[in-house]
Structures are given as structure tokens and as C-alpha cells.
């Protein structure tokens, strides 16, 4: 049979040759009709001519049919009729090859030029996009079920996970449809809190109400905001008055902004209370928050009920591969878009399981849409655009490469304005055009903005006028996903942390309504002035600070700084009153008692406010200096020895809290000398014995890890005093609590040399705490004592691989600590302890081979630590812990998520650099910085990015080189330096492997040689250093490379 056939793509006129099939549907219809004809005819040979013509037309249909499944079906039809020819005795068919479907001709595919892009890019889906929102049906169903039962639901998930989309395009349309079916007329209010949550809320209401009877927007917001700030519970009545009889669905998107942008804690609480804590309206409230900020949010008073009710929380998990394919293919079907075989599956493989990748998927699909050939996405287009993470980078880099050098400089300035630093990294912010044109020539700024807005990487929000337009990043994914922007941000942070801190201060000042508490003076004001040309926000802050300082100089007596000024004033009054009495010898005893009482009260307040986060470490340190005058004056008056000892003990506590070890030791040593003198006069005085117990306990605490012998001696002394006081008064629960506390500390000192002995001490402490708790189950001190003992017991058990027992102890401690935080959500001691126990529970899960559970608890620990660090940026201890926990998470995800590990290590590095800048002589902090660089380098190495690997390894090496030079006799520093050279050598060697940079081979050899020189010198100086293994490794690696060369 001949394979030649004529193709007629247009429909044939009556009486002309039959047209070609342009779809499988047409082909099947004709196939069925021909089968009926064959069934009705008695002689198969009479139909052969029709069959010949049908097969020719069916073969030609292949030029229009592109789907593999459809082509297979068409070929089966051809094969069927070829078999018919054989059975009918067609000799030509018997001698011919099997007819095959013609190849697909792309020129016949539909042209989608007029079709709308079915993909949304980096923008979230909104209510109008419901018709093209696919793939998250199960998540939408579950959230709707929760909203049927709960008035308010907190929706959390990682950045880029589609939280806003499932609410706006999935849940809201269905809720409105359901309510409309019930005869109701629902209303949806959507608000993004920004810097002034109440103003943003009221602006949204005013816009939706569209009531000409309402006052103008600014006037109405001012009036209503004052009412809501005073009485948040009146919000429901406001809605009832404006929208009578209509159920209101309130959606608060990006709730995390009440932490990242809004700086006023009272406003946060009031805003959330207005949404949650009122009866009636809103009928339903949906709060959308990035998962990093969920824990701080649940600590707000109005959200505690949600924290205690799992049914009121919805965590958006990652899509599976089937859901991702559904997202891609369903949207494509709406416009007839097709993909080459395998592309959809590859996209799904890259995105499935990654909760934060959906935004980048939509962006990639949007770029692929622009690269389509008629109605098809080809592999060529896919390779050009790249996988989801690559597409974002390639688009941003292509635009950047097309800019002139001056425009590139302007682009850097623009993007650095569109991102602001945060405790946990960087966040987006909206900036007006008139601000952006101050940092670079207006023409260049506009050109840069135009290019990136057209590429949908930057979003423009129209303002009242051209210069009032606002710009922000289309999605936070750009911060993490575009390495150039990350490098700019890191360079800027490295170049001047002070500048970033000052900019953040200026932004908080603006967000707070220009609170005078954020104004600058002294060196900080001078720094801000030097930076303000490159940072427009600082200009107003500098001008306002200068004006304020001039007024303060003239009117200092009228300064108003809240509790801080009150306490400072009390100190001044106390000091001046004492000095006056001392000079005039008028009632010195009475005046001294009064002065000491005031100072003691101030120290108590400082300590309490440090624990609750009401005062920052830096302010506490300044207040402490006011007590120095009293210390100096009292030393000459032995009759005031007891007052001074008590004051010194209290001040040592505060110095310990602010992280000032030197002053802690100085003060407590002075207190020890004074209490010893007092007890020499009367060894049985209970009050002085209690004071000596406090002193001994604090000395033991202060010297823990620094002088174990001294610490153990003082703790033993403290225990003897505590037991003696308890024996005198067995009913005194405070005396027994003292014993429990000191027993824990003694056990701490025993851990390294006698862990069984330490365990016994911890169990003794636990027994006391348990007995106290039995007497009063609501006693927080007893609860803390039990939790402390169980935590320490868990530490011992975990260290000796008794993991199941350790986890049981930790979980009991965790339950207690969670209850304490729920009771006092602002108590920083409780929050700090809870963060520690989460970390410890995570470690045990990790040791048990349960990485998901471990990661969950590590993240909970980070959330708490980040909140503590955010509340008091001056507290070094909390920042050190936060950095350590970031490293722990980075280590946990390093293998399966190198990019995520890099983000965590970067966060840790930034914090450690900030801390180290405060004390460049602190070796431990400096080593931590080097360690963060090394871990970053190793994470880049796993991704075979050797440029970044070597950059980070070299940064760590330079720090270790400085330490080794500074401490030439410290074998550990020398060994760490040798290992640093080894790391660089290993990376350079990998870079020189086939397919990599062969020139790196020499770099590897040089690094190994330098490391070998260092470790050989160490062994020569100290043969017992234990460095032989490092030397042998370096020799073997160097020998192998020398052989290759």
C-alpha cells in the first residue's frame, strides 16, 4: 500500500476530497462510523477503497496530534484497519510495511498569542484567581473544616509556601459561596499590619465600607484608632455598626509584621485582642504568619487560646509530587498549553516536599510561558529558563548584566533599600520612589526599577503621585534565592554593622510614631551623621536627635524617659542624700538606711525587668554605675557593713545578668569579705548566715567553668549553711529550696570526674523539689526546681547514651517549663529555660535517628531564642545561644538541604560577628566566628560551589592564623590552624578534579604544605600534643597530589 497521501488542513467543500483529521476526536468519530459501515456490508472487499482513504487521512492526522497518549491511540486505530485489509485479502496491504502515523508538525499547533498567562509568578493568588488555583484542594478542605468549628485560625508555613494563596483563592471563595447559599451576604476584609496595624486595619475597613457618610480617611482613622487603642474590645461593635447583618471574614496577611515592623508591644497586644478577643464580629478571623514568628505570636495574651487549641492552628505542609503536577497541568489545560514529555515530572521532582518553593515554581512557569513555541513548552525552553531556583537567579542576573556599570551601581543601592535587616536575617520593605531617587540619580533609579518591575521581580504600588509610588520585592524568595543580592546584603552588613543598626533604629523610630526613646546622642549620633548621606532615613533622625539634645541640654530637669529616668533619679537622690548626710553628720545612720533601701529597690527592679525583658542590658549597665558612689562612700563606715554586703550581693546578681563577669566577681568577693567579718562577730546570726549562703552560692556560680576548685569549695560551704538553716526550721520551704538549688550546682561541678556522683546529687535535688511541689503544686519556684533537676538528670543520661531515659526526663522538664511560660509569658528566665530544653530534646531525637522530630524541636528553640534576642538586642548570652541553635539546625539539614543549611550558618555568622565586635579579645567568640565560616564553606562545598567554599574557608583560616600568632604556645590554636589549611587543600583538590579547575591543584599542594609545616612544628615543640593523625593525613594527601603532578 502506498504511504503517499495528500493533506488538506481545511474542511473540504461538498463533493471534494475528504479533509485531514486535525484531532484524535475527529479521527475516532470517523473510525466508529467506518466500523458501522463495515458491519452493515456483507462483502469486506467492497469497503477496501474507503479503508485505504481512511488510513491515508489517519496517517496525516499525526501532523496535528502531539500528545503521546493520543498518538498511541491514533496508531492503534491505523493498525486496526490495516488488520482489516489483511483479513479482506488486500494483496497490496499484505506486501506493504505497517503504515505509521506522520510525525507531529509544530507549525500546526494552536497559537496561544492571545491567551492569558495561566501562571501567576511571584504574586500570591487572590480571590479573583480562584478559577486558576489548583493542587492544594486537600489543604483547602482541611482548613475549611477547622474554620467551621473555630472562630479564629492561625495559618502558618514557611516563606513561599502559598499560605496567602490557599486562603484567598482557595478558602475565601468557598466560604463566601457557602454563606451566600445560606442567604447571607458575607464581607471579606483583608489587612497587612505594616508599621501601624490599627491604621492599616481601619484603612481597609474604610475602603470596603465606601460610605460617603464617613469622614475623610485620615480623620476617621485618627478618631477610631484612639478608641481601639484604648478599648480593643469595641472593634466588634464598630464592624456591626458599619456592616449590620453581614458576616465579616477578617484575613490578616503577614501577621509577622507586628514583630518585624511594628515596635510597640502594647499595639501588638491590642491589635490581636481586637481581632480575637471580641464577641460577635468578625464572624471568622484568619491570621496568616510565617512559621518563624508563630511561637512569639502565640505568646501574645490574646492568642494564648489558639496556642492551647491545636484545632485553631493550621500548618501548611509541602505539596507532594502529584499535587505539584496537578498545579502545573491543570493551569496549562485552561489555555491549551502543553509540555514536552518529562518536563512536568522534573519540575514536580524539584519542588515536591519543599514547602517554600511554590512561589519560585510559579515564577519559573511564568518565564517558561514567555519562552513557549506556539502552545508548547519545550526542553530547549526549560533548559534556557532553568529549574525553579535557577530561573529566579537567571532572570535577575540577565537584567543586571544588561545594565551599564552606573546602572548596576544604582541597582545595588535600590535593592539595599528594598531589604532591611532583622534579628533572623533580612526582610522586605516598601520604599517610596522619592526616597529611592535620593540615593542614586533619578534617571538611573527609574531605569532599574522599570526593568525589574517588567520582569515581575519588583512590585510597584501606585501612589497619589509619581514620586509617591512604592516599591518592594515581589517575594521574599528573591532575598534567599538571588546570590548577588545576598552578597550585597552580606557585604553591607560586614562593611558597617553600625550603619545597619542605625538604619533599623531610624525605621523603628518612624514606626513608633517618632518616640523620643529612639533618638541618638554622643558617638551614636556622630556615626549616624556620617552615614546619613547614603541612608535617607537617618537624615530626619539625625536632625531630630540634634534638636532634642539641644533642648535637653537646656531643659534637662524636664527629661521624660519613663522607668529608666525614674530609677536613675532614685539613684541620684539616694547618692546625694547619703553624701549630704555624711558631710553634715546629720542622722547619717537613718539617711544611709534610706539610701540603701532606695538603691536596693532599684536593683530589684532592674533584676526583675531584665528577667521580663522590660529593660535592656545596656540600660541596666548604665543604671548600675550610679551605685558606685555609694560603694565608695560606705567603705569608710564599718557600721554600714551589713547594708553594703546586701547591696553588693544584689548588684553582683545584676552584673551576672548583664554578662559582666569582671564586676560580678569583684562585687561578690567584696560581699564575701564583709559577710565573713559579720559572722566572725556572731556566727549564729540567721540573717547573716542566709546572706553568706547567697554569697557562697553566687561565687560557686560565677567560678563555674573558670575555677572548679574554688567553685566546689564555695558550693560545699553554701550547702552546709543551707542544711543548718533547714535543720533550725524544718517547715521553712525556702530553706529546703536552697538545698535543692545548691545540690544541682554541686552536681554540675562533679559531672566531668564522677557522673554517677553527679546523678545522685541531681536526684537528691529532685526529691526536695518534688516534696515542695507536693505541698504547693502551684509554687513556681518548686516547679522550676523540679524542672532544673530533671533537665540535669537528662543531660547526664544523654551523655552516656541512655537516650530513652534521658528523653523521659527532658519531656517531664519540658512540660513544666511550658506551663511556666504560659503562666508568665514575659519572664525571660522561663523563656530561656524553655528554649534550652527544646534544644536538648531535639538533640536526643537526633541521636535516636529521628531527624524530623529533632528539627521540629530545634526550630522551636530558635523561635524562643530569637524572641529573646529581639526583645533585648544587647543581651550577648541570648545572641550566642541563638547563633548556636542556628548552627545546630544547619548541621541537621546540611545533607538534604544545603541551601537551608547555608541560610542558618549565615544567620549564625552574622550574630557571632556582631557579638565578637563588642569584645575583640574574647577568644571563644572569635573561634565561633571562624567555625561559622568553616561550616558555611562546607555547605557550599556540598553544592560544588568552590568559589564560595574557598572564600569562607579562607575567612575562617585568617581568623585562626591570627589566634595562632597571638597564642604561639597554645597547641590547640596551632592544630586548628593546620586543620584550616587542610580544609582549603581538600576543597582546592576537589576543584581540580576532572571537569573542574585544574589550576587549583597547585593551590591544594600549597595548602597541604603550609598545614604540614604548622603541625610538624607543633609536634616538635610538644611531642604529646596528639597531632600525629593530622600530620599523617596531610602527608598522605600531599604525597598523592605530588604523584599526580
CA distance 588 to 895: 70
CB atoms within 10 A of CB 982: 22
Quote the pLDDT of residue 354: 80
Strand partners of residue 177? none
Reduced to 3 states (helix: H, G, I; strand: E, B; else coil), residue 100 is: coil
Reduced to 3 states (helix: H, G, I; strand: E, B; else coil), residue 431 is: strand
> Cell numbers of 548, please?
532634642
User: CA 588, 591, 594, 595 torsion: positive or negative?
Assistant: negative
Is residue 83 located within the same domain as residue 154? no
426 located within any domain: no
327-343 mean pLDDT? 92
Is residue 168 located within the same domain as residue 244? yes
CB atoms within 10 A of CB 182: 8
> Cell numbers of 51, please?
479503508
Tell me if 256 sits within 8 A of 292, measured CB to CB. yes
Q: Burial letters for 750-765: b for 16+ Cβ neighbours within 10 Å, e otherwise?
A: bbeeebeebbebbebb
Question: How far is the CA of 1015 from the CAs of 935, 956, 1028, in angstroms?
Answer: 22, 18, 8
Is residue 613 located within the same domain as residue 705? no
pLDDT, tens digit (0-9, with 9 covering 90-100), for 433-473: 888 888 888 889 999 999 999 998 999 988 777 777 889 99
With vertex at residue 935, the alpha carbon angle to CA 931 and CA 940, rounded to the nearest 5 degrees, is 150
Is residue 33 located within the same domain as residue 168? no
757 located within any domain: yes
869 located within any domain: no
Q: Mean pLDDT lowest for which of 37-46, 845-854, 968-977?
A: 37-46
Quote the pLDDT of residue 602: 60
> Cell numbers of 534, please?
547614603
Is residue 254 located within the same domain as residue 306? yes
255-271 mean pLDDT? 87
Which of residues 334 and 745 earns the better pLDDT score?
A: 334
pLDDT at 576 over 60: no
Question: How far is the CA of 46 from the CAs of 51, 89, 90, in angstroms?
Answer: 10, 11, 11
CA distance 214 to 229: 20
Q: Among 812, 870, 810, 868, which Cα is nearest to 837's?
A: 810
Quote the pLDDT of residue 93: 61
Four-point Cα dihedral 594, 597, 602, 603, nearest 10: 140
Quote the pLDDT of residue 1000: 66
pLDDT at 617 over 70: no
Quote the pLDDT of residue 515: 65
Q: Cβ neighbours of residue 687 under 8 Å, at least 6 residues apart?
A: none
1045 located within any domain: yes
Strand partners of residue 190? 251
- pTM above threshold 0.75: no
Quote the pLDDT of residue 43: 63
Is residue 31 located within the same domain as residue 93? yes
Range of the domain at 676: 561-681
629-653 mean pLDDT? 65
Tell me if 194 sits within 8 A of 204, measured CB to CB. no
116 located within any domain: no
537 located within any domain: yes
669-694 mean pLDDT? 83
Sheet holding 187-191, edge to edge: 187-191, 248-252, 284-290, 152-157, 313-315
Give me the percent of the chain exceeding a pLDDT of 90.
Answer: 27
Is residue 182 located within the same domain as residue 240? yes
Quote the pLDDT of residue 724: 83
Is residue 70 located within the same domain as residue 169? no
Residues shown for the chain = 1045
Four-point Cα dihedral 559, 564, 569, 572, nearest 10: -120
CATH code, 638: 1.25.40
DSSP string for residues in 221-286: HHHHHHHHHH-GGGHHHHHHHHSTT--EEEEE--TTHHHHT---HHHHHHHHHHHHSSSSSSSEEE
DSSP string for residues in 661-715: HHHHHHHHHHHHHHHHHHHHH-TT-HHHHHHHHHHHHHHHHHTTTT-HHHHHHHH
CATH code, 268: 3.40.50.300
**Looking at 647, 681, 715, which one is the last position of a domain?**
681
CA distance 882 to 886: 6
User: CA 489, 495, 497, 502 torsion: positive or negative?
Assistant: negative
pLDDT, tens digit (0-9, with 9 covering 90-100), for 266-316: 899 999 999 886 667 788 999 999 888 899 899 999 999 999 999 999 999
Q: Mean pLDDT lowest for which of 145-154, 266-275, 367-376, 869-878?
A: 869-878
Which of residues 772 and 422 earns the better pLDDT score?
A: 772
Q: How confident is the model at residue 555 (pLDDT cuts 50, 70, 90)?
A: very low
888 located within any domain: no
**Looking at 800, 825, 843, which one is the last position of a domain?**
800
pLDDT, tens digit (0-9, with 9 covering 90-100), for 522-540: 877 877 777 776 566 677 6
Quote the pLDDT of residue 816: 92
Q: Select the highest-mean-pLDDT range: 89-93, 324-328, 791-795, 1006-1010.
A: 324-328
Quote the pLDDT of residue 587: 46
pLDDT at 979 over 80: yes
pLDDT at 161 over 80: yes
Is residue 89 located within the same domain as residue 143? no
Quote the pLDDT of residue 548: 60
Q: Among 777, 800, 780, which Cα is nearest to 788's?
A: 780
Check whether the bond before 282 is cis (ω within 30° of 0). Answer: yes
Question: How far is the CA of 485 from the CAs of 411, 499, 656, 990, in angstroms?
Answer: 10, 18, 40, 27
Q: Among 3, 107, 91, 16, which Cα is nearest to 55's?
A: 3
CA distance 630 to 578: 8
pLDDT at 1 over 60: no
CA distance 927 to 570: 42
Q: At what angle do helices 876-893 and 828-847 cross, to 10 degrees?
A: 20
CA distance 644 to 640: 6
Tell me if 611 sits within 8 A of 832, measured CB to CB. no
161-189 mean pLDDT? 92
CA distance 516 to 511: 12
Q: How confident is the model at residue 6 (pLDDT cuts 50, 70, 90)?
A: very low
814-838 mean pLDDT? 90
Quote the pLDDT of residue 573: 44
Quote the pLDDT of residue 186: 92
pLDDT at 957 over 60: yes
Is residue 654 located within the same domain as residue 727? no
Q: How confident is the model at residue 811 (pLDDT cuts 50, 70, 90)?
A: very high
Q: How confident is the model at residue 189 (pLDDT cuts 50, 70, 90)?
A: very high
Q: Among 905, 903, 1028, 901, which Cα is nearest to 955's?
A: 905
CA distance 1035 to 1042: 10
544 located within any domain: yes
User: CA 516, 518, 523, 526 torsion: positive or negative?
Assistant: negative
Establish how many alpha carbons lie within 13 A of residue 182's alpha carbon, considering only the half-sphere containing its beta carbon. 10
Is residue 632 located within the same domain as residue 648? yes
585-599 mean pLDDT? 52
Q: Burial letters for 136-171: b for 16+ Cβ neighbours within 10 Å, e otherwise?
A: beebbeebeebbeebebbbbbbbbbbbbbbbbbbbb
pLDDT at 7 over 50: no
Is residue 654 located within the same domain as residue 788? no
The backbone region for 128, taken as left when phi is positive above 0, alpha when psi lies in -120 to 50, beta otherwise, is alpha
Q: Among 132, 266, 248, 131, which Cα is nearest to 198's?
A: 266
645-651 mean pLDDT? 76
Q: Mean pLDDT lowest for which of 445-449, 733-737, 846-850, 964-968?
A: 733-737
CA distance 878 to 870: 9
Quote the pLDDT of residue 251: 95
CATH code, 1010: 1.20.58
Quote the pLDDT of residue 758: 72
The H or E element that residue 124 is part of is none
Reduced to 3 states (helix: H, G, I; strand: E, B; else coil), residue 886 is: helix
Quote the pLDDT of residue 272: 93
CATH code, 709: 1.25.40.10
Tell me if 768 sits within 8 A of 785, measured CB to CB. yes
Q: Among 620, 571, 579, 626, which Cα is nearest to 599's?
A: 571
Helix, strand, coil: what percent of the chain each, to 5? 70, 5, 25
Give me the percent of the chain exceeding a pLDDT of 70.
Answer: 82
CA distance 161 to 357: 6
CA distance 395 to 367: 9
Number of H helices, E strands in the chain: 48, 12
Overall domain count for the chain: 6
CA 751 vs. chain centroid, Å, equals: 35
**Looking at 318, 342, 369, which one is the last position of a domain?**
318
Mean pLDDT (the chain, rounded): 81
CA distance 907 to 881: 12
Amino acid at each position: 500500500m502506498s504511504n503517499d497521501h495528500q493533506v488538506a488542513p481545511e474542511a473540504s467543500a461538498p463533493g471534494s476530497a475528504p479533509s485531514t483529521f486535525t484531532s484524535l476526536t475527529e479521527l475516532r468519530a470517523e473510525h466508529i462510523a467506518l466500523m458501522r459501515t463495515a458491519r452493515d456490508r456483507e462483502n469486506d472487499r467492497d469497503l477496501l477503497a474507503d479503508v485505504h482513504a481512511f488510513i491515508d487521512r489517519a496517517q496525516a492526522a499525526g501532523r496535528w496530534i502531539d500528545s503521546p497518549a493520543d498518538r498511541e491511540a491514533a496508531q492503534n486505530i491505523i493498525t486496526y484497519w490495516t488488520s482489516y485489509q489483511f483479513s479482506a485479502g488486500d494483496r497490496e496491504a499484505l506486501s506493504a510495511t505497517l503504515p505509521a502515523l506522520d510525525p507531529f508538525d509544530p507549525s500546526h499547533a494552536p497559537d496561544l498569542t492571545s491567551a492569558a498567562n495561566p501562571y501567576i509568578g511571584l504574586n500570591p493568588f487572590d480571590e479573583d484567581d480562584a478559577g486558576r488555583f489548583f493542587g492544594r484542594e486537600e489543604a483547602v478542605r482541611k482548613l475549611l473544616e477547622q474554620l467551621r468549628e473555630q472562630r479564629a485560625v492561625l495559618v502558618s508555613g514557611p516563606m513561599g509556601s502559598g499560605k496567602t494563596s490557599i486562603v484567598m483563592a482557595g478558602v475565601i471563595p468557598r466560604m463566601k459561596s457557602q454563606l451566600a447559599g445560606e442567604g447571607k451576604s458575607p464581607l471579606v476584609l483583608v489587612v497587612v499590619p505594616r508599621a501601624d496595624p490599627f491604621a492599616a486595619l481601619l484603612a481597609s475597613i474604610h475602603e470596603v465600607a465606601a460610605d460617603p457618610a464617613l469622614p475623610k480617611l485620615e480623620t476617621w482613622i485618627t478618631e477610631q484608632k484612639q478608641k481601639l487603642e484604648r478599648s480593643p474590645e469595641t472593634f466588634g461593635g464598630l464592624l456591626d455598626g458599619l456592616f449590620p447583618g453581614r458576616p465579616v471574614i477578617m484575613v490578616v496577611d503577614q501577621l509577622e509584621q507586628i514583630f518585624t515592623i511594628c515596635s510597640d508591644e502594647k499595639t501588638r497586644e491590642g491589635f490581636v485582642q481586637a481581632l480575637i478577643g471580641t464577641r460577635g464580629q468578625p464572624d471568622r478571623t484568619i491570621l496568616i504568619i510565617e512559621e518563624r514568628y508563630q511561637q512569639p505570636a502565640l505568646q501574645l495574651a490574646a492568642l494564648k487560646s489558639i496556642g492551647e487549641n491545636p484545632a485553631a492552628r493550621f500548618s501548611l505542609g509541602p505539596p507532594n509530587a502529584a499535587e505539584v503536577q496537578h498545579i502545573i497541568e491543570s493551569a496549562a489545560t485552561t489555555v491549551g498549553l502543553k509540555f514536552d514529555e518529562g518536563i512536568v515530572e522534573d519540575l514536580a521532582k524539584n519542588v515536591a516536599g519543599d514547602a517554600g518553593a511554590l512561589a519560585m515554581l510559579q515564577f519559573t512557569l511564568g518565564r517558561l510561558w514567555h519562552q513557549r513555541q506556539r502552545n508548547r513548552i519545550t526542553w530547549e525552553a526549560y533548559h534556557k529558563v532553568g529549574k525553579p531556583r535557577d530561573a529566579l537567579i537567571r532572570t535577575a542576573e540577565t537584567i543586571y548584566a544588561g545594565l551599564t556599570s552606573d546602572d548596576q551601581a544604582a541597582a545595588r543601592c535600590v535593592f539595599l533599600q528594598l531589604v532591611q535587616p532583622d534579628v533572623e536575617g533580612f526582610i522586605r520593605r516598601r520604599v517610596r520612589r522619592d526616597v529611592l531617587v535620593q540615593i542614586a540619580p533619578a534617571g538611573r533609579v527609574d531605569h532599574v526599577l522599570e526593568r525589574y518591575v517588567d520582569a515581575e521581580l519588583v512590585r510597584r504600588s501606585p501612589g497619589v503621585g509619581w514620586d509617591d509610588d512604592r516599591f518592594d520585592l515581589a517575594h521574599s524568595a528573591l532575598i534567599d534565592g538571588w546570590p548577588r543580592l545576598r552578597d550585597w546584603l552580606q557585604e553591607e552588613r560586614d562593611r558597617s554593622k553600625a550603619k545597619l543598626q542605625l538604619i533599623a533604629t531610624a525605621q523603628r523610630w518612624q514606626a513608633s510614631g517618632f518616640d523620643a526613646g529612639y533618638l541618638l546622642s554622643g558617638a551614636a549620633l556622630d556615626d549616624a551623621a556620617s552615614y546619613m548621606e547614603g541612608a535617607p532615613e537617618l537624615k530626619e533622625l539625625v536632625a531630630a536627635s540634634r534638636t532634642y539634645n539641644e533642648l535637653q541640654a537646656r531643659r534637662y530637669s524636664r527629661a521624660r524617659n519613663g522607668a529608666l529616668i525614674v530609677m536613675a533619679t532614685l539613684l541620684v537622690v539616694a547618692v546625694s542624700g547619703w553624701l549630704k548626710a555624711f558631710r553634715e553628720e546629720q542622722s547619717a545612720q537613718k539617711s544611709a538606711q534610706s539610701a540603701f533601701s532606695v538603691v536596693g529597690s532599684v536593683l530589684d527592679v532592674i533584676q526583675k525587668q531584665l528577667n521580663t525583658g522590660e529593660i535592656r542590658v545596656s540600660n541596666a549597665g548604665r543604671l548600675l554605675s550610679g551605685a558606685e558612689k555609694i560603694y565608695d562612700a560606705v567603705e569608710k563606715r564599718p557600721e554600714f557593713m551589713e547594708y553594703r554586703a546586701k547591696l553588693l550581693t544584689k548588684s553582683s546578681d545584676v552584673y551576672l545578668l548583664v554578662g559582666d563577669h569582671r564586676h560580678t566577681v569583684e562585687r561578690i568577693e567584696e560581699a564575701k569579705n564583709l559577710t565573713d567579718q559579720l559572722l566572725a562577730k556572731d556566727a549564729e546570726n540567721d540573717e547573716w548566715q542566709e546572706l553568706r549562703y547567697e554569697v557562697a552560692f553566687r561565687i560557686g556560680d560565677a567560678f563555674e567553668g573558670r575555677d572548679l576548685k574554688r567553685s566546689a569549695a564555695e558550693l560545699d560551704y553554701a550547702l552546709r549553711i543551707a542544711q543548718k538553716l533547714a535543720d533550725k526550721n524544718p517547715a521553712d520551704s525556702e530553706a529546703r529550696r536552697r538545698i535543692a538549688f545548691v545540690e544541682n550546682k554541686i552536681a554540675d561541678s562533679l559531672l566531668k570526674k564522677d557522673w554517677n556522683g553527679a546523678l545522685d546529687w541531681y536526684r537528691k535535688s529532685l526529691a526536695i523539689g518534688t516534696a515542695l511541689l507536693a505541698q504547693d503544686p502551684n509554687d513556681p519556684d518548686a516547679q522550676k526546681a523540679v524542672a532544673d533537676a530533671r533537665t540535669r538528670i537528662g543531660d547526664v543520661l544523654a551523655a552516656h547514651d541512655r537516650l530513652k531515659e534521658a528523653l523521659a526526663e527532658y519531656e517531664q522538664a519540658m512540660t513544666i517549663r511550658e506551663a511556666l511560660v504560659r503562666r508568665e509569658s514575659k519572664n525571660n528566665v522561663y523563656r530561656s529555660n524553655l528554649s534550652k530544653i527544646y534544644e536538648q530534646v531535639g538533640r536526643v531525637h537526633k541521636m535516636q535517628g529521628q531527624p524530623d522530630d529533632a528539627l521540629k524541636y530545634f526550630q522551636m528553640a530558635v523561635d524562643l531564642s530569637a524572641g529573646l534576642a529581639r526583645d533585648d538586642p544587647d543581651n550577648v548570652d541570648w545572641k550566642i545561644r541563638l547563633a548556636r541553635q542556628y548552627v545546630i539546625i544547619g548541621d541537621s539539614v546540611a545533607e538534604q538541604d544545603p541551601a537551608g543549611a547555608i541560610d542558618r550558618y549565615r544567620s549564625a555568622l552574622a550574630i557571632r560577628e556582631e557579638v565578637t565586635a563588642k569584645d575583640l579579645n574574647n577568644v571563644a567568640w572569635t573561634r565561633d566566628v571562624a567555625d561559622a565560616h568553616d561550616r558555611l564553606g562546607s555547605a557550599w562545598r556540598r553544592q560544588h560551589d568552590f568559589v564560595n567554599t574557598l572564600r569562607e574557608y579562607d575567612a575562617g583560616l585568617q581568623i585562626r592564623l591570627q589566634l595562632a600568632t597571638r597564642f604561639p604556645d597554645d597547641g590547640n590554636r596551632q592544630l586548628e590552624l593546620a586543620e584550616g589549611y587542610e580544609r582549603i587543600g581538600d576543597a582546592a583538590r576537589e576543584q581540580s578534579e576532572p571537569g573542574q579547575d585544574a589550576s587549583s591543584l597547585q593551590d591544594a599542594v600549597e595548602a597541604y604544605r603550609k598545614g604540614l609545616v604548622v603541625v610538624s612544628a607543633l609536634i616538635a615543640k610538644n611531642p604529646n600534643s596528639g597531632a600525629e593523625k593530622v600530620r599523617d593525613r596531610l602527608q598522605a594527601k600531599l604525597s598523592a597530589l605530588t604523584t599526580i603532578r
